[in-house]
Structure 1
């Protein structure tokens, strides 16, 4: 009964949050465009699916993903785990948290691969490019960027390095890459930074940051616990721009070799 009471409460809150979207579409369709709503029955049924799905997702976040991220971070940063067979260990030394960095990279990669927003963008990118952009190539490139970014973000939490140094340095790299990257990949690269911070990645990453900052001595969750999502948004841009630059270099290199062969003949 307690579960159904919580589910009902979350269901009503989801209805309240989604209602402005339906009102907006209805207003423009009926008042501005003055057109009847096509397939009204299907839209209503789909809306119910959306609301129920969002409610179940929010309940799942609260019951599973948030606690799981916090528990894993606190266990990996537990002094008993870090010390192992050693008599003593400096818990403020960032070199002792190798498992944390590895876990952060793997969780960033796996959650990004499963990110519905990225899957949708990857399919659309392949569609409009006529197959020039590979769906899995884009997804893996973005996931590698997120993996590196979140791993670097956990290093920032453990070491206590100011966040602005990483963000400033990262965007300087992005600006420089933008000057040399192919125009066909540029806008997609910037969009790739946004689609990674969505329904699957954000809850786990946020829980990881809060759990880790609460476990490392001298760190404050309110100050150090946040910021991982910024890394998850920034480094996919660098990765996709780099992927585009590498592809452009490979094509120009192949064209140069073909030209040299023709000259030899």
Structure 2
């Protein structure tokens, strides 16, 4: 166990170290950072490394097995109505407990918090049922996504502009580090009954549509443009004692949030274990230990990200935008985006699942590279929006149009992986570092934070849909070339054999 934990922490170190070095270089050159903010960031980075290591090990030991076991039972011979009800309850309850949903609710004061939380939870529940039905009836993912997103963009025409950025952000925000590994494993368990590789993915993609539609419908129902945000203030930290006090003060809140987030999954597993799964005692103990690792990992990770990374991101955005060469936000944002996606905990879960499902045919490095390029492009576009005031609609519509058109010409498994990756990439690092970075730049340039900063989560969720499907096209061409070469070699061998046979006949 210790050896595995060391391996996971070593992987986390290699993921978090690049973004840490970039921030340090910026703080020593273009954006000198107060020592207190820098200390918060460094301690936060250390907590991220340890937390990601514990989380990855916990996901392997508990979250993935729980989801797969429950998915196999739900994908079996149970009655369709019963499975639909259970899927809805799972999706809704897990979403209600997602910590980021509380943050989303506070951004829309025109709608009561309880209403938006229940509406978004219901949206995820409904689309978890849709995902289950797609798997059970062998419906292709590509046409399903085209139909759903066509409906989303048609509905968006009638939605107040102030709701659009928040609505599209909600799709990435509500699929957080607790729900994503569980939903991915649930999809794998259901797909194991059907035996199709592409069905192992796509559940996160469909569940991400629910929050978008829910927030849009609320915008229509309340007919209000009252959307707001909580102004960010960098904490006053002067020495190491103040730094420690900040983390100790925030730690109980994240302990409570993570406990509430994991509770629905634990309860559902307990019910399934008693009713139908009935794992052996040793397996159950291993899952309990894994849940403990997951809890410790997420508490450390979220505490480090929120308290350590958020002030650093906001300060860098404000300082870089105040430079005469504020256009440097675009290339710097792209570099930050390229490396920071590797620090998302759920990204490692997705990469491992892709490699396992495809038996190594699609390596982790290829998916990781495509994700990094996609997020780099998204942050570059987000910073361009801040600099020029480009409406988010001008980027989302063509972006999703390209992504949906690609579904018609790439292998199905790449489409499923790509649309899952959107929810995976837009995790806590986007909310705690990239969004504050964009908000700080907006404030320094005098832009409207609600229209120009919000939407960065939506951008991060969109661009990997394109880059991973382009990776699928590359793989498709390589396979065709290999097949053509093999067929040519076979024809050549057949031709030589015919000549040999002919010569033997002549000699006779």
TM range (shorter): 0.7 to 0.9
Unpaired segments of 5 or more residues in structure 2?
Answer: 1-243, 497-508
- Partners of 2:280 and 2:479 in 1: how far apart? 49
SS in 2 for 1:16: helix
Match in the other structure for 1:116: 345
The 8 Å contact of residues 346 and 424 in structure 2, kept in 1 or not, is answered as: yes
Task: Compute the displacement of 1:132 (Å).
Answer: 1.4
User: Against the structure 1 CA distance between its residues 74 and 126, is the aligned structure 2 distance closer, same or farther, given a 3 Å change threshold?
Assistant: same
For the 8 Å contact 1:29–1:37, the answer to whether it is kept is no
Aligned residue pairs total: 248
Instruction: Give 1:222 deviation, angstroms.
Output: 2.4
Which deviates further from its counterpart, 68-77 or 37-46? Answer: 37-46
Aligned to 1:200: 429
Question: 268, 274, 281: which one pairs with 1:38?
Answer: 281
Q: Is the 8 A contact 1:74 1:215 kept in 2?
A: yes
CA change 1:259–1:227 in 2 (3 A) is same
Secondary structure of the structure 2 residue equivalent to 1:131: coil
Shift of 1:9: 4.1
Q: Give unmatched runs, 5+ long, in structure 1.
A: 83-95
Normalised by the length of structure 2, the TM-score is 0.45
| TM-score, L = length of structure 1 | 0.81
Q: Distance in 1 between matches of 2:307 and 2:350?
A: 29
Please say if residues 375 and 463 of structure 2, whose CA atoms lie closer than 8 Å, have aligned partners that are also in contact: yes
1:174 counterpart = 2:403: yes
The secondary structure found in structure 2 opposite 1:179 is: coil
RMSD: 2.7
Residue 12 of structure 1 pairs with residue 248 of structure 2: no
Provide the secondary structure at the position in 1 that maps to 2:428.
Answer: coil
Contact 1:113 1:140 in 2 (8 A): no
What is the deviation of 1:169?
0.5
**Equivalent residues in 2 for 1:130-209 (5 A)?**
130-209=359-438
- CA 1:67 to 1:164, structure 2 compared with 1: closer, same or farther past 3 Å? same
Q: For 1:16 and 1:123, how far apart are their aligned partners in 2? A: 27
* Equivalent pair of 1:181/1:245 in contact (CA under 8 Å): yes
Residues 212-243 of structure 1: per-residue CA shift (max 9 Å, x gap) = 211112x1212322111111111111001111
CA-to-aligned-CA distance 1:187-228 (integer Å, 9 cap, x gap): 1122122211123343212112211211112x1212322111
SS of match in other structure, 1:132: coil
